[in-house]
Amino acid sequence: MDFFLCVIGMVMIFEGLPYFAFPERMKEWVKKVVEMPESTLRVMGLVLITLGLLFVYFGRT
């Protein structure tokens, strides 16, 4: 459980960094994401999930 909490904490840090460092650019980027088709967002999500699973798999072996 400790490892899981550390991982969640690190994810939150990495997710928050762009908003802290470049808030004006993040607003522009979020507007672009809202305008993207849902199918594109789904493909991007699937790719990120797959990469994340591969990183976890190779990191644990």
10 has a pLDDT exceeding 90: yes
Q: What is the pTM of this model?
A: 0.71
Q: What percent of the chain has pLDDT over 90?
A: 77
Q: Which token pair is 32?
A: 């672009």
HSE-CB of 16 using CA atoms within 13 angstroms:
6
Rounded-to-integer distance, Cα 4 and Cα 1, Å: 5
61 has a pLDDT exceeding 90: no
End-to-end CA distance of the chain: 19
So what's the pLDDT on residue 47?
97
